[in-house]
Chains A and B, each alone.
Chain A
């Protein structure tokens, strides 16, 4: 009859006492890890400042939702659930790992379980956790090797594939689970063989299987397996700990911090430098990100935290149409740069320009800032701020594509990208028929109103989009809203100007607009342009509340002030396209749909990619002038999605979307089979005469005219 197993610390490994060996492994492992992490922090310390310590409770909520709650993961169901299981298993097992670290390699510690009921349930939970993690590893490896999901693929220009490294790490984690389970199972098997009463491993768990396999293994073999499993476990554990900071697995450690420090203020763009005020930034020698060290520490942390899952690029419209941009590789290339130039072993050398080196100019200009990448990322990695910072650097050096130089200059001299005369900005209100149907106030010294209708450049100047302006005005009229426009005092909102990196020009436009808006004394702002909406709401400060026309219409429908008549053509099937800056950036998905559904008899279908998965039309503002290198247009991809969903009418609530989609219908060869309409245009057409028809003022004018006519 053999004696009970000693604990590994009490055993001897090739003449070395166990406790000494394991203490050495702990110390070495932790020291190495500490050293590696310290070296990884070096570039962050040199990076630009980023104020991310405010609103800690809000940040904690995000940690609970996105880190602990793994909120974004189920967006890719299979991989998401797989990861949630792995994550849960890791958390459970990590508790034990931490306990080991904190209490050190005490003699006899590992052979002791926590006392009583807690210990009993903890044992069961950890056994199942190890089993689940092991099974997930097997499935994950299988996915990598056999199914090869498309988003993991590495195009040739980005280097060799990442699969080998991924499988290596997955296999090591599986090994860890096996070692852990073998350690337990061999000990239990030895006790069972001796006829001792002992707690068996949880049914169908990994240790349970192994124990069954080992049930007739000789005692001495069990003893060797027991000691061997333990040392393999320790070595593997510490190898993984120290290896993780060299690749994408670093996200295991950094994810908690990356989510805690995530951006809270959606919709707006970071200032040029967080610790420099607007006025002071005029004096800065260099604007934007030109070298790696110009990134903020949080952006560098983003590079470390990327798990290479490819969900961002999978949803990026620029990537889908063959532009040189892939968000995933924007991050991976930067991370590889930092690994190469800020080495753990060896020194650091940095200071090389990014664009022309790891990034190309076309790559940076290709982004439409649609936000699909940020919406998808489970680690809340940020992209738009980085693209804008890189663009600021390009602008600072004068590297701007010729197609963008003209509209930028026009914005500077004329306040609109078309270069058209300022005095013609309000010409659209004077259109022949419209003039008699709807009176639009121009807010100046003699006219005031409660609400400002901010029109913005494309609706003011583009012949096609002016009809959106007129439709909106008629709706506001019918809804009884006292409104006016700024007319020639209005300048472009500057939304894209800012996102294309021309911060100073943006500020000039913004300041002029703010002055005009404040001077008009309006209490509310409404716009039909989601880009203007987003800018006024998030980029501008201290303005009256802003809303989009779809919100106003929905409100007036609910209160009964607006009525819509049934559709005439029952054969039409409508699909609503969520504009990026109304939907994804501002979460306004339901109001436009409510409006459409309020039209009796309107048949509406949803495209596969809708709401926060909406596919960008191609971009607005300055993006309408840029000529990218691409295989096809985003708009064409989008209209084909609408056709696929069975629609023959695309409804959108953005003039820039309208421009791209109407163009795309022609390019896609769907002319005659598909039409596009703006939400405001549709509502204006369907507005009925139930309810207040004409504004009170207009009635008064008519009465005055009648009086004059009578008296002459």
Chain B
């Protein structure tokens, strides 16, 4: 099975203190540590496990710049067979639809049975997977936390719903899935693995190689534009439940059930 995993390099939310810059229109990016989006790691790990069972190859791709080379290499150190960097001046400042357009052009040049994305990028809006599927006219399922290969053309997938229950669906290949964190335990990538992939070749594909229409991508094609960044006003604090003890207990149980902590 040929699997493509779309990854993104994002500021690591656990290793950075996200602050607004002095102009107040963006976050301070100078000192940020970047790493592969957490959900994407789960997607790559899932792809590797599927291929270990069924045979095949895992390719990782990202739309970005030279700095994203490091991210691709990290996933290759995990075990991905191939890394592809899609980069071009014309692609910068694309919105979600633009990125999906670019990826679609790439996918159509190759043959992939399954395309995975992380459910959401830590700095973004969980949109690429769905858009890409629509553009390719592939079926799409989101928040997948379990994948079973039924045969060459069908998968059984699961997602979690309210209260901790699971919904099982069948989906036909080729398809696009967005992967929920917790689907597996991603393997550790040590320094040794990273060193071993340091000299592998990662091709860069640009506007001409992908034959993308320049007017469909980039800053001017973007139909969603960022207006502002701001820190929300401080609220009152925690929610205090009111009422008699029985009432509070009832409310608490209701809340816990709704969040899936009780069955």
Question: Taking beta carbons and an 8 Å cutoff, which residues of A are in contact with B?
Answer: 282, 287, 395-400, 402, 404-406, 408-410, 412-414, 419-421, 423, 502, 504-505, 508
27 A-B residue pairs with CB within 8 Å: A282-B192, A395-B188, A395-B190, A396-B190, A396-B192, A397-B187, A398-B187, A398-B190, A399-B187, A399-B188, A402-B186, A405-B188, A406-B14, A409-B35, A410-B15, A412-B191, A413-B15, A413-B33, A414-B33, A419-B14, A419-B15, A421-B16, A421-B31, A423-B31, A502-B190, A504-B191, A508-B191
What sequence of 0s and 1s flags, for each residue 72-93 of chain B, a beta carbon within 8 Å of any chain A beta carbon? 0000001000000000000000
Which residues on B sit within 8 Å (CB–CB) of A508?
A: 191
Interface residues of B in 191-219 (CB under 8 A from A): 191-193, 195
What sequence of 0s and 1s flags, for each residue 115-135 of chain B, a beta carbon within 8 Å of any chain A beta carbon? 000000000000000000000
Say if the beta carbon of B189 comes within 8 Å of chain A: yes
Contact of A504 with B188 in the complex, beta carbons under 8 Å: no
Which residues on A sit within 8 Å (CB–CB) of B185?
A: 402
Contact of A413 with B35 in the complex, beta carbons under 8 Å: yes
Say if the beta carbon of B12 comes within 8 Å of chain A: yes
Query: From residue A272, how far is it (CB to closest CB) to chain B in Å?
Result: 10
Query: From residue B70, how far is it (CB to closest CB) to chain A in Å?
Result: 11
Name A287's closest neighbour in chain B (CB-CB).
Answer: B192
Query: From residue A546, how far is it (CB to closest CB) to chain B in Å?
Result: 26
Contact of B15 with A505 in the complex, beta carbons under 8 Å: no
Q: How far is the CA of A396 from the CA of B186 in the complex (A)?
A: 14
Q: How far is the CA of A404 from the CA of B188 in the complex (A)?
A: 9
Say if the beta carbon of B17 comes within 8 Å of chain A: yes
Contact of A398 with B189 in the complex, beta carbons under 8 Å: yes
Name A508's closest neighbour in chain B (CB-CB).
Answer: B191
Q: How far is the CA of A406 from the CA of B189 in the complex (A)?
A: 11
Q: How far is the CA of A421 from the CA of B12 in the complex (A)?
A: 12
- The A/B interface has a contact count, at CB < 8 Å, of 53
Summarize B's interface: helix, strand, loop or mixed. Answer: loop
What sequence of 0s and 1s flags, for each residue 170-193 of chain B, a beta carbon within 8 Å of any chain A beta carbon? 000000000000000111111111
Which residues on B sit within 8 Å (CB–CB) of A412?
A: 191
With A398-B78, A421-B31, A423-B31 already in contact, the answer to whether A502 and B189 are too (CB < 8 A) is no
5 extra interface residue pairs, beta carbon distance < 8 Å, beyond A398-B190, A413-B15, A505-B191: A282-B195, A287-B192, A399-B188, A409-B35, A410-B15
Name B196's closest neighbour in chain A (CB-CB).
Answer: A282
Q: How far is the CA of A275 from the CA of B89 in the complex (A)?
A: 50
Q: How far is the CA of A396 from the CA of B190 in the complex (A)?
A: 7
Which residues on B sit within 8 Å (CB–CB) of A505?
A: 190-191
Q: How far is the CA of A505 from the CA of B192 in the complex (A)?
A: 8
Question: Taking beta carbons and an 8 Å cutoff, which residues of B are in contact with A?
Answer: 12, 14-17, 31, 33, 35, 78, 185-193, 195
Which residues on A sit within 8 Å (CB–CB) of B14?
A: 406, 410, 419
Which residues on B sit within 8 Å (CB–CB) of A402?
A: 185-186
Summarize A's interface: helix, strand, loop or mixed. Answer: helix
Which residues on A sit within 8 Å (CB–CB) of B190?
A: 395-396, 398, 502, 504-505
Q: How far is the CA of A420 from the CA of B12 in the complex (A)?
A: 11
Which residues on A sit within 8 Å (CB–CB) of B191?
A: 412, 502, 504-505, 508
Contact of B192 with A504 in the complex, beta carbons under 8 Å: yes
Contact of A419 with B12 in the complex, beta carbons under 8 Å: yes
The 9 closest A-B pairs by CB, nearest first: A398-B187, A400-B188, A419-B15, A504-B191, A398-B188, A505-B191, A413-B33, A504-B192, A395-B190
Contact of A408 with B35 in the complex, beta carbons under 8 Å: no
Q: How far is the CA of A241 from the CA of B133 in the complex (A)?
A: 74
Contact of A421 with B188 in the complex, beta carbons under 8 Å: no
Query: From residue B214, how far is it (CB to closest CB) to chain A in Å?
Result: 36
With A396-B190, A398-B188, A399-B188 already in contact, the answer to whether A504 and B15 are too (CB < 8 A) is no
Q: How far is the CA of A409 from the CA of B70 in the complex (A)?
A: 14
Which residues on A sit within 8 Å (CB–CB) of B187?
A: 397-400
Name B78's closest neighbour in chain A (CB-CB).
Answer: A398
Which residues on A sit within 8 Å (CB–CB) of B78?
A: 398
Which residues on A sit within 8 Å (CB–CB) of B15?
A: 410, 413-414, 419-420
Which residues on A sit within 8 Å (CB–CB) of B17?
A: 421
Name B45's closest neighbour in chain A (CB-CB).
Answer: A398
Which residues on B sit within 8 Å (CB–CB) of A406?
A: 14
Query: From residue B219, how far is it (CB to closest CB) to chain A in Å?
Result: 30
Query: From residue A613, how far is it (CB to closest CB) to chain B in Å?
Result: 35
Which residues on A sit within 8 Å (CB–CB) of B35?
A: 409, 413
Q: How far is the CA of A440 from the CA of B217 in the complex (A)?
A: 54
Name A501's closest neighbour in chain B (CB-CB).
Answer: B190
Q: How far is the CA of A698 from the CA of B21 in the complex (A)?
A: 38
Name B13's closest neighbour in chain A (CB-CB).
Answer: A419
Q: How far is the CA of A423 from the CA of B16 in the complex (A)?
A: 12
Which residues on B sit within 8 Å (CB–CB) of A282?
A: 192, 195
Name B187's closest neighbour in chain A (CB-CB).
Answer: A398
Contact of A408 with B188 in the complex, beta carbons under 8 Å: yes
Q: How far is the CA of A423 from the CA of B33 in the complex (A)?
A: 13
Which residues on A sit within 8 Å (CB–CB) of B192?
A: 282, 287, 396, 504
Query: From residue B92, how far is it (CB to closest CB) to chain A in Å?
Result: 25
Q: How far is the CA of A420 from the CA of B31 in the complex (A)?
A: 11
Q: How far is the CA of A550 from the CA of B206 in the complex (A)?
A: 62
Which residues on B sit within 8 Å (CB–CB) of A400?
A: 187-188
Which residues on B sit within 8 Å (CB–CB) of A504?
A: 190-192, 195
Name B41's closest neighbour in chain A (CB-CB).
Answer: A405
Query: From residue A206, how far is it (CB to closest CB) to chain B in Å?
Result: 62
Which residues on B sit within 8 Å (CB–CB) of A502?
A: 190-191
Name B31's closest neighbour in chain A (CB-CB).
Answer: A421
Query: From residue A24, how far is it (CB to closest CB) to chain B in Å?
Result: 58
Name A422's closest neighbour in chain B (CB-CB).
Answer: B31
Question: Which of A395, A399, A406 is most buried by chain B, counting CB atoms within 10 A of its CB?
Answer: A395
Which residues on B sit within 8 Å (CB–CB) of A397?
A: 187
Which residues on B sit within 8 Å (CB–CB) of A423?
A: 31
Which residues on B sit within 8 Å (CB–CB) of A409?
A: 35
Name B79's closest neighbour in chain A (CB-CB).
Answer: A398
Q: How far is the CA of A410 from the CA of B35 in the complex (A)?
A: 10
Which residues on A sit within 8 Å (CB–CB) of B31?
A: 421, 423
Name A406's closest neighbour in chain B (CB-CB).
Answer: B14
Name A284's closest neighbour in chain B (CB-CB).
Answer: B192
Query: From residue A467, how far is it (CB to closest CB) to chain B in Å?
Result: 22
Q: How far is the CA of A73 from the CA of B188 in the complex (A)?
A: 43
Query: From residue A498, how far is it (CB to closest CB) to chain B in Å?
Result: 12
Q: How far is the CA of A402 from the CA of B14 in the complex (A)?
A: 14
Name A395's closest neighbour in chain B (CB-CB).
Answer: B190
Which residues on B sit within 8 Å (CB–CB) of A408?
A: 188
Q: How far is the CA of A406 from the CA of B35 in the complex (A)?
A: 12
Which residues on B sit within 8 Å (CB–CB) of A419?
A: 12, 14-15, 33
Q: How far is the CA of A406 from the CA of B186 in the complex (A)?
A: 12
Name A281's closest neighbour in chain B (CB-CB).
Answer: B192
Which residues on A sit within 8 Å (CB–CB) of B193?
A: 398
Q: How far is the CA of A656 from the CA of B186 in the complex (A)?
A: 29
Which residues on A sit within 8 Å (CB–CB) of B195?
A: 282, 504
Q: How far is the CA of A318 from the CA of B31 in the complex (A)?
A: 40
Which residues on B sit within 8 Å (CB–CB) of A414?
A: 15, 33
Query: From residue B53, how far is it (CB to closest CB) to chain A in Å?
Result: 17
Name A504's closest neighbour in chain B (CB-CB).
Answer: B191
Question: Which of B14, B17, B191 is most buried by chain A, counting CB atoms within 10 A of its CB?
Answer: B191
